[in-house]
Amino acid sequence: MSVLDRFDLTGKVAVVTGGSRGMGRSIVRAFAEQGADVVIASRKRENCEILATEIQDATGRRALGVACHVGRWPDCDALIDTTLREFGRIDILVNNAGMSPLYEDLAAVTEELYDKTLAVNLKGPFRQGVLAGTHRAAHDGGSIINVGTIGSLIASVHELPYACAKAGLNALTVGLAEAFAPNVRVNAILPGAFATDISKAWSEEMRSGAHIPMQRTAEPDEIVGAALYLASDASSYTSGASIRVDGGVTRKVGG
């Protein structure tokens, strides 16, 4: 097998939450281009189905759009069940869906905001990771990728509930890696500042990327290298790891 062959995903089925836009969209397209059939999940089914059609037309791979609110366990269960019913397997799960609500200050954080943030960023990935991991451990293995944030290591006062949830996701990554070893690999990607929809709410300083050693924010496609590595046989001896894709960030900004 050549080095490039190790990145081939032919015959694999990948589920990507938050897959209809931003980094999730880039991951979906990359996986399909590498031969995987893909399940695109987000809260808005129409957006998922539009992308699924685009993927099928562009790559010839099978693509399915599924509505799923990852903060609700019944939706998580239904996503896994639907994938197994339609494709018969799940080889790759990417827990990419996330949310970071704005608030005026820490005292203004409501219980509802806090609970919603943890539900989407941690509770859902826990449930989906357990279901997908249990399935793959009983078969011939697979890969789970949790998309977190560099903010889980360098937290800001302006996104603290989000950072807390994503720090939990880091712990989940290590725990699931042990739970489903040796056949299932579980790893995390910790992105820094990416120019996605969420960046529209950032300050001008953050959008400029001036605080980042590489002096810019990243484009969504720049997540693809890490995602393909972790999804494929190229990372056959990598598990429980967190890969930073953050431009070399060493400090928090704005808080």
Which residues have CB under 8 Å from 211's CB, separation 6+? 205, 249, 251, 253
* Domains parsed from the chain with CATH numbers: 4-244 (3.40.50.720)
Kindly report, residue by residue over 145-197, the tens digit of the pLDDT: 999 999 899 888 888 999 999 999 999 999 999 999 999 999 999 998 787 76
Kindly report, residue by residue over 117-127, the tens digit of the pLDDT: 999 999 999 99
8 A C-beta contact, residue 234 and residue 178: no
Active site amino acids = 162
Its pTM surpasses 0.85: yes
Three-state SS for 185?
strand
CA distances to 56, 162, 184, 245 from 13, in Å: 14, 29, 14, 25
For the chain, how many helices (H) and strands (E)?
8, 7
Rounded mean pLDDT of 129-158? 94
Torsion of Cα atoms, 31 then 125 then 199 then 100, to 10°: 170
Closest CA to 251 of 151, 116, 136: 151
